[in-house]
């Protein structure tokens, strides 16, 4: 592998987080990787924007739907993922990744398709946790990605743009149809959260994809979907990616971001320990052995994107002092 692009959202926490969160973390490889790199601060970017830019995609929904086996050659597509909305005092918090069976998904989609037939909306559930909506005409609207809305108050994540009111109405009708549905009654009787809403996001039409990478891996479902949609074989491990013959690889680690969004700082610490053991150490060893020439690490955070670029020559710049992870707080 000549060049590795690492994408690790929320590796750096906000400055107002207690310094005690970092206490006891031993990260010599990660700290060395950061210290020996050239750092640039860029505008804030979401994972979805990064992937669309590097795969030349107009939007997420048609790419992910194609990866799930749907024909997206015509129409305007939206991700319509099943979620649970929970009322907490004055907030309505979105719980993502609601487990659902294929039978439940098919039954709920059938109800939605009957109701919205006159509106020209068609729902698909090729995967129990990944649903889609197709409409005939494009729409001028900006929607919050599920990854961003997760565990937040949905009132601050509503659609924006010329067609926003239309999609707010559609979302409200979806919630009314799902509320009290026989599927949800059965779920609640079993102690499971109701699928009481669909989160609409990532809308757009299909476009020709031109990936910047020839190998993709990691723990992120969306980057894996982008790889499948472009015919790039998924890589099972970072070692396999680094030892491969590819020119430009992408490895995405979403563990810290998922933990941070849930507000689970203990899980965030565990995720950083995994990065030290399974990523930073492997990357440095690959560079020292000559298997890897250059690395670009991009840390996505709400205030800004931090880009770290490291070459083999940079490893020997020992005068650049290592700093703890707390130094990079955003």
pLDDT digits (tens, 9 = 90+) for 197-225: 999 999 999 999 999 999 999 999 999 99
pLDDT grade for 133, boundaries at 50, 70 and 90 = very high
What's the CA gap between 68 and 241, in Å, rounded?
24
Contact 164, 143 (CB under 8 A): no
pLDDT at residue 95 greater than cutoff 90: yes
Cross-strand partners of 311? 294
Q: What is the pLDDT of residues 293-302, one digit of tens each?
A: 999 999 999 8
Per CATH, the homologous superfamily of domain 3-56+211-328 is: Alkaline Phosphatase, subunit A (3.40.720.10)
Give residue 289's Cα distance to chain centre: 32
Q: Give me the mean pLDDT over the 254-269 stretch.
A: 95
Q: Exposure pattern of 153-188 as b/e (b: 16+ CB <10 Å)?
A: ebeebebeeebbeebeebbeebeebbeebebbeebe
H or E element, residue 217 = strand 215-218
pLDDT at residue 242 greater than cutoff 90: yes
Q: Give me the mean pLDDT over the 126-153 stretch.
A: 96
pLDDT grade for 57, boundaries at 50, 70 and 90 = very high
Give residue 55's Cα distance to chain centre: 15
pLDDT at residue 316 greater than cutoff 90: no
pLDDT at residue 244 greater than cutoff 90: no
CB atoms under 10 Å from CB of 19, counted, come to 10
pLDDT score at 207: 93
pTM: predicted TM-score of the whole model, two decimal places = 0.93
Contact 14, 328 (CB under 8 A): no
Q: Give me the mean pLDDT over the 323-327 stretch.
A: 92
CA distances from 154 to 23, 83, 171 (A): 33, 11, 12
Phi, psi dihedral angles at 100 (to 5 degrees): -145, 145
What's the CA gap between 295 and 20, in Å, rounded?
30
Q: Give me the mean pLDDT over the 289-295 stretch.
A: 93
Portions of the chain given CATH number 3.40.720.10: 3-56+211-328
Contact 325, 19 (CB under 8 A): no
pLDDT score at 1: 85
What's the CA gap between 79 and 131, in Å, rounded?
6
3-state secondary structure of 271: helix
Q: What is the pLDDT of residues 18-27, one digit of tens each?
A: 888 999 999 9
Q: Give me the mean pLDDT over the 285-294 stretch.
A: 93
pLDDT score at 328: 92
């Amino acid at each position: 592998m000549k060049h590795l692009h690492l994408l690790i959202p929320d590796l750096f926490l906000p400055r107002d987080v207690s310094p005690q969160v970092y206490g006891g973390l031993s990260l010599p490889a990660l700290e060395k990787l950061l210290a020996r790199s050239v750092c640039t601060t860029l505008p804030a970017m979401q994972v979805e924007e990064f992937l669309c830019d590097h795969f030349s995609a107009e939007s997420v929904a048609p790419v992910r739907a194609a990866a799930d086996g749907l024909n997206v050659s015509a129409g305007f597509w939206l991700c319509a993922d099943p979620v649970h909305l929970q009322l907490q005092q004055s907030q309505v918090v979105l719980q993502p990744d609601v487990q659902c069976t294929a039978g439940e998904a098919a039954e709920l989609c059938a109800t939605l398709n009957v109701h919205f037939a006159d509106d020209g909306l068609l729902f698909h559930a090729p995967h129990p946790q990944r649903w889609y909506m197709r409409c005939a005409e494009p729409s001028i609207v900006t929607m919050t990605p599920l990854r961003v809305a997760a565990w937040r108050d949905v009132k601050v994540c509503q659609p924006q743009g010329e067609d926003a009111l239309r999609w707010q109405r559609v979302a409200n009708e979806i919630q009314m149809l799902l509320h009290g549905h026989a599927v949800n009654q059965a779920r609640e009787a079993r102690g499971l959260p109701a699928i009481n809403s669909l989160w609409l996001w990532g809308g757009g039409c299909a476009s020709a994809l031109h990936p910047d990478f020839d190998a993709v891996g990691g723990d992120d479902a969306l980057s894996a979907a982008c790889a499948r949609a472009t015919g790039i074989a998924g890589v099972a491990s970072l070692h396999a990616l680094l030892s491969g013959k590819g020119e430009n690889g992408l490895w995405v680690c979403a563990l810290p971001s998922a933990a941070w969004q849930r507000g689970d700082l203990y899980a965030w610490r565990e995720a950083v320990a995994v990065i030290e053991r399974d990523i930073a150490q492997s990357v440095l060893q690959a560079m020292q052995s000559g298997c890897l020439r250059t690395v670009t690490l991009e840390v996505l955070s709400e205030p800004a994107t931090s880009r770290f670029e490291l070459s083999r020559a940079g490893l020997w710049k020992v005068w650049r002092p290592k700093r703890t992870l707390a130094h990079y707080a955003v």
